[in-house]
Amino acid sequence: MEVLDFELDDEEPKGPSNLVQILIFLALTALAAGVGFGGGHFIYKDVAGETGAEVQRAPAPAGHAGEQSGRDPGNSAGGAGNADHGSQAPRHDGEPAATSGVVIPLDPIVTNIQAPKNIWIRIELAVVAPQQLDEGVVREIHQDLLTYMRTLQLVELDGPSAFLDFKASLRDRANIRSDGKVSAVLIKTLLYE
């Protein structure tokens, strides 16, 4: 019997060099960034439109925080004087953006919610309407939204979808109370503890 002696290659097959792998990685990263930037730019133009919408600010009611401090509410600290005018940010909640109108601030709402009872909520809102609303209508909107806030459960604010439903409910209630004059409800602050 004859024994055959085979030599096995101990070397593994070589793949692309490290330099080639790095170049491919950088090329794919640049391609992904370009596609992301281009897609985002395309979507932003589609949502916001070529020209932004003009939103006018209603005069603050007597005793409102912006009037007490003696500063223009549209002027942010150290920012441009027209921070609230000009192009409007795109909407990400599926709602149509308010094309134009007057921003009417509502009094802050502070109340406890339905469940759990020990949770208190403070929310500052403003409504957007094509023209200044009657003071009685603004009070009705405020009272209706206060009543709605008292029926909330904490799970109705938990997560992005629930928050969007909450915003839609606020808008619908304000729209009903104003006989269809309110085009949007803006949430300035929302705190709960």
Give the residue extent of every domain in the chain: 55-192
Over the stretch 25-55, which tens digit does the pLDDT of each residue have? 999 999 999 888 888 877 766 554 444 445 5
Per-residue pLDDT of the chain (193 residues; tens, 9 = 90+): 666 666 665 566 667 788 999 999 999 999 999 888 888 877 766 554 444 445 555 555 554 444 444 444 444 344 444 344 444 444 445 455 545 789 999 999 999 999 898 999 999 999 999 999 999 999 999 999 999 999 999 998 888 899 999 999 999 999 999 999 999 999 999 998 8
CA distance 35 to 102: 38
Q: The tokens 């459960």 sit on which residue?
A: 153
Contact assessment for residue 123 and residue 167, using Cβ atoms and an 8 Å cutoff: no
| Rg of the chain in Å (alpha carbons) | 28
168: part of which helix (H) or strand (E)?
helix 160-177
For 55-192, CATH number out of 3.40.47.10, 3.50.50.60, 3.40.228.10, 3.30.479.30 equals 3.30.479.30
Contact assessment for residue 86 and residue 133, using Cβ atoms and an 8 Å cutoff: no
Number of Cβ atoms within 10 Å of the Cβ of 184: 22
CA distance 170 to 149: 9
Of 77, 159, 141, 151, nearest to 104 by C-alpha is 141
Whole-number pLDDT of residue 141: 96
CA distance 116 to 23: 56
Whole-number pLDDT of residue 24: 93
Contact assessment for residue 148 and residue 85, using Cβ atoms and an 8 Å cutoff: no
For residue 115, the 8-state DSSP code is B
Amino acid at 4: L
Enter the pTM of the model: 0.52
Label the pairing between strands 101-105 and 55-57: parallel
